[in-house]
Structure 1
Amino acid sequence: MKDILKRASMVDCKPVVTHVSIAKTADDVATPYADPTQYRSLADALQYLTVTRPDLSYAVNLLCQHMHAPTTTDWASLKRVLRYIKGTLHFGLRISRSASLDIHAYSDSNWAGVARSSTEAEYKGLVDVSPEVTWFVSLLHEIGIPPASPPRLWCDNLGATYLCANPVFHAHTKHVGIDYHFVRDKVAKKELEVHFISTKDQLADIFTKSLSSIRFNSLRDKLNVLASQPCV
């Protein structure tokens, strides 16, 4: 992480507490950044960093959407991520043993730019996560430690959870029929369970939207991205 800061000449930058600002910014005037190669190189390096720092995933995803033609605004966003990293150099993903074999997956979607309704977007989020959970269950069976109960998928949209069990299509969801059958069949076979979770408890928010520092820090802790403990 220190090497990334050096490459951007930001070793002595002032840290910030979140990687993405929640404040509305003026529209980008599309001023091209003078050194797009530098932008792409740093954005690439940040992608590798998300393996051990999942709290960076949302910000890095945004940065990588503009690698083809970065602007000065994109560069400012990248520098903010580096300032966040500067203040969290001692953080990392802490993995510890668990006595439970229960599988929980959290599905969320920032729907405004990708779908006509929040229910549609949230349902598609469930569709995307279902194959991943199915693959993970298959892996556990293969290594001889099958889960004791069906995996639980948590979604903060009631409409999307109803679609997983209700055989009746609503007019505005007819076009997602193929995806609907995939998830609903899994639920009907009791291979998956879909449950509602309140927005305040939705862990996946950290991967889909900018958050206040209090909310962000709370979810980061729940991801087990924690400050390193001093050696005793």
Structure 2
Amino acid sequence: MKDLGPAHYFLGMELALTLSNLSLTETKYVVDLLKHANMHEAKPVTTPTVNGCRLSFSDGDPLSDPSEYRSIVGALQYLTLIRPNIAFAVNQVCQFMHQHTTVHWLAVKRILRYLNGTLTHGLLYSPSTLHLSAYFDADYAGDPYDRRSTGGYCVYLGTNLIS
């Protein structure tokens, strides 16, 4: 076995270790995904979803090639490990993996446009206290179709997001 020194790239993640912090980004992964989806020259947007937009099964026309939608949404799911800011939007489009339409594809494209404007965003871990805190929020039966609730959580160790 050979020591190759500190890791700089692992499973699509760029690792940058300094004396004061550890930075995790997936810039190359995002650029490759944007090129695969032919969205690398798309105009960036400031949010991954349109405020108040609710996706439904009845909106839009069915897509002719389901594999492209599934491939890109699956890649976005992996990206949520380092980019929790897109987790809600990706969760919304994942609900339509088996029956997606042109409206759902537009929602995926909006997420990609958001990523195009935030290529270098990721997680930053800094030395902090060992204080564990967790936050959870949910709506009550917010889904208009099946009355399911949507929830989300985040867990911090000091000031660092860990889950």
Q: How many residues align?
A: 125
* Counterparts in 2 of 1:59 and 1:25: CA distance versus 1, 3 Å: closer
TM-score, with structure 2 as normaliser: 0.67
State percent identity of aligned pairs. Answer: 41
Q: Whole-Å Cα distance in 2 between the matches of residues 11 and 32 of structure 1?
A: 25
Q: Which structure 2 residue ranges, 5 or more long, are not aligned? A: 1-29
2:117 maps to: 87
For 1:53, the equivalent position in structure 2 comes to 83
Q: Counterparts of 2:83 and 2:41 in 1: how far apart (Å)?
A: 21
**Equivalent residue, structure 2, for 1:17:** 46
- CA drift of 1:44 comes to 0.3
Unaligned runs of 5+ in 1: 116-120, 134-146, 148-221, 225-232
What SS is found at the alignment partner of 1:61?
helix
Which residue is 2:16 aligned to?
Answer: none
- Of 72, 92, 95, the residue aligned with 2:102 is 72
The 3-state SS of whatever aligns with 2:134 is strand
Q: Secondary structure at the match of 1:108?
A: strand
Counterpart position of 1:34: 64
For the aligned residue pairs, the C-alpha RMSD in angstroms reads 3.0
The answer on whether the counterparts of 2:93 and 2:108 sit within 8 Å (CA) in structure 1 is yes
Residue deviations 1:91-150 (CA, integer Å, cap 9, x gap) = 11111111x2221110101322346xxxxx69xx6xx97xxx8xxxxxxxxxxxxx9xxx
Could you list the runs of 4 or more consecutive aligned residues of structure 1 that deviate by over 3 angstroms after TM superposition?
23-30
Higher share in strand: 2
Determine if contact 2:125/2:160 at 8 Å carries over to the other structure: no
Structure 1 CA distance, aligned partners of 2:74 and 2:120? 21
Name the structure where helix makes up a greater proportion of residues.
Answer: 1
Question: Which has the higher Rg, Structure 1 or Structure 2?
Answer: 1
